[in-house]
Amino acid sequence: MNWVTLKRIFRAGFLDFWRNAFVSFASILVMTVTLFVVGLTIFAGVMLNFTIAELRNKVDVSVYFLTDTPEERILTLKSALEARPEVTSVGYISRDEALAQFRERYKDDQLALQALEELGQNPLEASLQIRAKDIAQYEAIAQFAESQDTESGTAASIDKISFYDAKYRVALDRLQDITDSAQRLGLIVIAILILTTIAISFNTLRLAIYSSREEIQVMRLVGAGQFFIRAPFMIEGMLYGLVAGVVTLLLFYPLTWWLGSATASFFGGVNIFTYYLQNFLMFFGIIVGTGVFLGAIASFLAVRRYLKI
């Protein structure tokens, strides 16, 4: 393909875009709705992932040690746990820190504080608070902690591990089911919305090209190649997608600004407006790229039926 032919194709595409102003407006409007739904699905996925991550960050496994366990032994186990790839963090709470937290928590409960004073000593145990990258990894972490304790060659120092508590296991399994189901449902809803909007956009572009069906058939009769006929309509469809993408990005600016504070309060602390600004290039690439690609493919397929004589 030479430069003259390419220039004619682009010129024809631009002329059709401006000449059919009403059809172009209708196509851009529908594609804007399509891309707006695509953008909303991205935001919904972001908020869902942040919410799930926030729920999982609140889950941990506590390892409690007997009151006579040397601190060095606890710190040795802490270092071993931190070295495991599935562990995110390990926090150490000494007996004194546990006592201070108890006093702070029950500062308004004089009966509890009085009972503590009557004991004459600190009855609370030191503990390690372990956070994992995934809920399913806590069982392996608990087993590793037990194995490290028994391999030391001395008497066991671990009193209990919260993972093995029956109520804790039920709550953990339920949270795992909820997060997995939410992710699967989110993917299904997103797929349905995108497929539906793509179908609507395709039908709209097909109607836009319908007005040029006689022109296509005449070009075919005089011997024009299929690509030469298709290319201007593909350029026109890409322009629809480009303009619709820019309009969609402009619409998201006030919308995310308005919803920003609300999402920061209810969806894991993520401000959707800040997220939009920080990842604007990503949104530009996805929204505009989807619009241009969708316009080109839909135009390519819509013209096909009119190429048959």
Q: How confident is the model at residue 246 (pLDDT cuts 50, 70, 90)?
A: very high
* DSSP secondary structure of 135-156: GGGHHHHHHHHHHHHHTTSS--
For residue 32 the two structure tokens come to 């804007």
Confidence of residue 5 (pLDDT cuts 50, 70, 90): low
Distance CA 241, CA 248 (A): 10
Structure letter (DSSP) for residue 126: P
Question: Rounded distance, CA 105 to CA 99, Å?
Answer: 10
What does the pLDDT look like over 73-112, one tens digit per residue?
Answer: 888 888 888 888 888 888 888 888 888 888 888 777 777 7
Tell the CATH topology of 67-156. Alpha-Beta Plaits (3.30.70)
Q: Kindly give the residue spans of alpha helices, DSSP state H, lying in the chain.
A: 3-19, 21-57, 71-82, 95-105, 110-119, 138-150, 166-210, 213-221, 226-266, 272-278, 280-304
Place of tokens 């299904």: 188
Single out the residue of 18, 45, 11, 37 nearest to residue 291, CA to CA: 37
Instruction: Judge whether 238 and 292 are in contact, CB under 8 Å.
Output: yes
What is the edge-to-edge ordering of all strands in the sheet holding 127-132? 87-93, 127-132, 61-65, 158-161
The model's pLDDT over 124-167, given as tens digits with 9 standing for 90+, comes to 888 888 888 877 788 888 888 888 877 655 666 888 887 766 56
* Pair of tokens at residue 139: 């069982």
- Tell whether the model's pLDDT for residue 308 goes beyond 70: no
What residue ranges of the chain are covered by domains with CATH 3.30.70? Answer: 67-156
Q: What is the pLDDT of residue 125?
A: 85
Q: Kindly give the interhelix angle for 166-210 and 280-304, rounded to the nearest 10 degrees.
A: 50
Q: Give the angle 197-199-202 at the CA atoms, nearest 5°.
A: 110
Residue with structure tokens 């729920």? 55
Residue 35: count of CB within 10 angstroms of its CB: 27
| Cα–Cα distance for residue pair 135/117, rounded to 1 Å | 39
Q: Tell me the three state secondary structure of residue 125.
A: coil
Contact (CB, 8 A) for 49 and 106:
no
| pLDDT band of 12, cuts 50, 70, 90 | low
Q: Which residue's structure tokens are 């296991």? A: 169
Give 241's pLDDT tier (boundaries 50, 70, 90): confident
- For residue 113, pLDDT beyond 60: yes
pLDDT by residue (tens digit) across 44-64?
777 777 777 776 666 778 888
Q: How many CB atoms lie within 10 A of CB 91?
A: 12
